[in-house]
Amino acid sequence: MTAQAAENPPMSTITTAPNDLAAPRAALFLHRWQSTSFALVAGVAALLSGHGAAPMIVAPAIVAIGVALDRSRQVRDLRDRAADAAFVASADQLGQDVLPVWAAHIENSRHQMESAVAALTQRFAGIVDRLDQTLRASGHGDDIGLASAFAHSKDELGAVLDSLKDAMASNTAMNSEVQSLSRFVAELQQMAAEVADIAQQTNLLAINAAIEAAHAGEGGRGFAVLAQEVRKLSALSGATGQRMADKVGVIGEAIRVAREAAQVSAKREAASARASEGAITGVLERFRGVTEAMEASTEALKQQSAGIQVEIVEALVQLQFQDRVSQRMTHVRHNIERLPDLLAESRRRFDASGALAPVDAKVLLDELEGSYAMADERATHADSASREAPAAPADSLEEVTFF
Amino acid sequence: MAKTIMIVDDSASLRQVVGISLRSAGYDVLEGSDGADALKKLTGQKVHLIISDVNMPNMDGISLVKELKKLPAYKFTPIVMLTTESADGKKAEGQAAGAKAWMLKPFNPPQLLAVVQKLVLP
């Protein structure tokens, strides 16, 4: 009995073990599991060392203490498991509900940019073609400055399209940043599941320890093995707890990168708007000057001029995509910028209490939904929430309401 | 003499597209980048119609309409809301504030000109 008892580590070694193996924060995180199971283990270990006849006398008392501790542990475990479940659910919600909405908005914006750029390219090509035909047919293009307008406009329209494509590329980069966030969230969920699993195993071992304690007289060796297992598991869950805490930091960093990508995207959009502002005004007004001059010319030229006016009107409709995309991206950017606050709050509560605090993803979704102005934004939100493909952008022209 | 129309929108590209459409029809165009900027630029001169966005920084379009209704010089100036905002509640707010029409973006330039011609002051 004494030899067996000597194999059991003394109480101080057991209780400080997690501090040797993992960071103090992880120890705090684990405190809830240790406090009950190690008290039980230590109490029994003390009885096993020194007092040969004691187990016979105090066994009923140990069982009574074991039952009382077991009950209080069950209450705590229930509460902690509820906190774990809430955390896992919140990570789930972040991954399944919020990120797809962000990604759908970015994807939808990219799609709108792409179709607008394609349509503009077509319109611009149409305008250039008509001017070219007119130039050939009339044979006096230079009289109305058509040739120089043609050459100049082609260059300027090319520059506009380049800058629009640039904005589109940075939008794509932002989308991949948001995608990488889902990967972090999945890792976090995996780790939360590990911790929950370990907690459950620790719980089972603690129950076994209680049973062993009841038979302490004959089962000292089996008990020592159990105590070792509890230590190992605690160390393991301590390390996982630390990894989870670290991961929250990594996610914060990833959000910072995504936010920077969003800012770069916004800057490029603004630059693209500025670049196209001068160029498009110049080109369209030059066209107008040219078409006015053409109207003064022959009937055939007049018809070409009318055709060009239609193309210009269509180009003016298409150019409004910049306004729509920029509004949508502003709403998503503001929403992304809110996430670090929520993560920091969860981290603060974790540091203070050692219990995992859920990140309230619903707050984010509600705020995002509240910021919408456009019908197609609401449609994207509804579609991505129901996990369907993003809706086609609403490019049909709407009615006017007179009051 | 050409009539003057003010366009209030925080998007430079949108102001530009509206500006091109209006100038091509012979109107003079004033620009404001938000409600506050528009009020600052309206210093008593005659404006025949105002086209305003709804969601803007500093001062939104609905607040701008309310402010304009308090000013004797612009109390009767017709205001067209040109916005991506499609919620009926916002539209009702615009109507209650005193706007004359609600037009959704993206707009078609000939359609905008038709609305302008219908509402512009003589």
Each residue's pLDDT tens digit, A225-268: 666 666 666 666 666 666 666 766 676 676 667 767 776 776 77
The domain that holds B57 is classified in CATH as 3.40.50.2300
Across the interface, of B17, B86, B101, the residue whose CB is closest to A316 is B17
For chain A, the average pLDDT equals 65
Look at chain A and count its residues: 403
Contacts of A113 in chain B (CB under 8 A): none
> Roughly what angle, to the nearest 10 degrees, separates helices A24-48 and A146-214?
10
- 8-state DSSP, B50: E
Hey, is the C-beta of A323 within 8 angstroms of any chain B C-beta?
yes
Tell whether A146 is covered by a domain.
Answer: yes
B12·A277 Cβ contact <8 A = yes
Tell whether A6 is covered by a domain.
Answer: no
Backbone angles phi and psi of B60, in degrees to 5: -75, 170
pLDDT of residue A331: 86
Lookup: tokens for A306: 């009318």
Tell whether A402 is covered by a domain.
Answer: no
pLDDT at A24 over 60: no
Rounded to the nearest 5 percent, the helix, strand and coil shares of chain A are 85, 0, 10
**What's the angle, vertex CA A211, arms to CA A210 and CA A217, rounded to 5?**
100
Hey, is the C-beta of A322 within 8 angstroms of any chain B C-beta?
yes
pLDDT of residue A222: 64
| Chain pair A-B, CB pairs under 8 angstroms | 88
Residue with tokens 């509890």: A230
Tell whether A4 is covered by a domain.
Answer: no
What is the number of other CB atoms lying within 10 angstroms of the CB of residue A340? 15
Tell whether A244 is covered by a domain.
Answer: yes
**Mean pLDDT, range A165-189, rounded to an integer:** 69
pLDDT one-digit tens code per residue, B51-101? 999 999 999 999 999 999 999 999 999 999 999 888 889 999 999 999 999
Q: How many whole angstroms separate alpha carbon A289 and alpha carbon A305?
A: 11
In A, residues 366-395, which contact B (CB 8 Å cutoff)?
373-375, 395
A322·B24 Cβ contact <8 A = no
Q: Closest by alpha carbon to B55, among A264, A326, A379?
A: A326
Q: Closest by alpha carbon to A34, among A234, A250, A299?
A: A234
**Mean pLDDT, range B14-34, rounded to an integer:** 88
Interface confidence, given as ipTM, is 0.90
- 8-state DSSP, A94: I
Contacts of A327 in chain B (CB under 8 A): 55, 84
Q: Are A106 and A335 in contact (CB under 8 A)?
A: no
Q: Which carries the bigger pLDDT value, residue A25 or residue A284? A: A284
Number of domains in chain B: 1
A401·B83 Cβ contact <8 A = no
Q: Positive or negative, the Cα torsion across B101, B96, B90, B34?
A: positive
For residue A248, the distance in angstroms to the closest alpha carbon of chain B comes to 34
Q: Find the domain containing A253 and state its range.
A: 21-385
Q: Are A184 and A247 in contact (CB under 8 A)?
A: yes
Assign B122 a pLDDT band (cuts: 50, 70, 90). Answer: confident
Number of domains in chain A: 1
Backbone angles phi and psi of A270, in degrees to 5: -65, -45
Give the chain A residue nearest B93 (alpha carbons): A403
pLDDT one-digit tens code per residue, A108-165? 777 777 777 777 777 777 776 776 666 666 655 455 566 666 666 667 667 666 767 7
B85·A288 Cβ contact <8 A = no
Q: Find the domain containing B33 and state its range.
A: 4-119
Across the interface, of A320, A327, A374, the residue whose CB is closest to B17 is A320
Q: Closest by alpha carbon to A140, among A284, A298, A286, A287?
A: A298
Contacts of A321 in chain B (CB under 8 A): 106
Q: Positive or negative, the Cα torsion across A234, A240, A244, A249?
A: positive
A373·B85 Cβ contact <8 A = yes
